[in-house]
Amino acid sequence: MRGGTQRPGMRWRPTPRQAAIILLLWLATLAGVTNAMAQNGGERRGAPPGQFDFYVLALSWSPGFCALGGAAKDREQCSSDLGFVVHGLWPQYRRGYPSDCAAVATQPSRMALSAAAGLYPDMGLARYEWRKHGTCSGLSPTDYFTAVRKAREAIVIPPAIAAMTQDATWTPIDLERAFVSANPGLRTDMMSVSCRKGVLSEIRICFTKDLRGFQSCPELDRRGCRGGSVKLPAP
């Protein structure tokens, strides 16, 4: 075969150099797709552990969760007089987030789960959160749940909400301002109010990766509830 002419019936086989170039192009394309998913706010399953930008602490308003059908999912949680409980501590990109970052997630030991005692409404949720989000932190289960506790203990629930004994109605911006007032250093662009069917479901607060302070998170802030009012069922 001369001058690159291929004989009829012969299959083209790349040289080692051509194969290497093809592989690099394929990897670059794959990286571009996954990066585009993150840039577009998508979920990146199986992303490298420890490679993220900041944390989101999601605090579930338990009465809202139960009013929105949560009793069918967790009777134990909805038979208790709970207020805010930890939903999760989530590694986050500036756009998008990683999940399920271990091919085989190590089950948290009893010692690891003891670090989560009193944070989650039940240990089943703690185990699930470790598999989906904790594996992306780059931490061991014990260190991850210790980080969850650190983030939770850094947040003061506004007194007017902590002392609730009857249903109340708030606007999303007033809820944010109440948390800002109770937590020095927190701003409204560092958190979001999540609601469904006009009922408060969660407050989500962004922390720096080292959990030493709060973090601006415009994408999360934009996805929060905006106008109108939000109902807070009492515990």
Q: Which of 43, 76, 133, 202 is catalytic?
A: 133
Catalytic pick among 76, 87, 153, 176: 87
Name the active-site residue from 43, 129, 153, 219: 129
Helix or strand run (H / E) with residue 36: helix 16-39
Degrees to nearest 5, angle at CA 123 with 119 and 127: 105
133: annotated active-site residue: yes
CB atoms within 10 A of CB 72: 8
List, in sequence order, every residue forming a beta bridge with 57; answer none if it has no partner. Answer: 89, 205
Answer yes or no: 129 catalytic. Answer: yes
Cβ atoms of 157 and 147 within 8 Å: the answer is: no
Give the gyration radius of the chain's Cα atoms. 23
Instruction: Please give the Cα distance from 67 to 73 (Å, whole number).
Output: 12
Which residues carry out catalysis?
A: 87, 129, 133
